[in-house]
Amino acid sequence: MTGFDYAVLAILGLSILLSVMRGLTQEVLALAGWVVSAWLALNYAAAISVFMPAALPNEGLRYLAALVVVFCAAWLLTAIVRITLNQFIKATGLKPVDRLLGVFFGLVRGSLFVVLLVLAAGLTGLPKTDLWRNAMFSPLFEQAARMSLPWLPEALAGRVSFD
Per domain, the residue ranges of the chain are 3-157
Where are the alpha helices (H) located in 50-58, listed in sequence order? none
Helix (H) or strand (E) holding 142, with range, is helix 138-148
**pLDDT tens digits, one per residue of 73-96:** 999 999 999 999 999 999 999 999
Closest of 2, 8, 1 to residue 113, by C-alpha: 8
The pTM of this model reads 0.79
**pLDDT tens digits, one per residue of 39-53:** 999 999 999 988 988
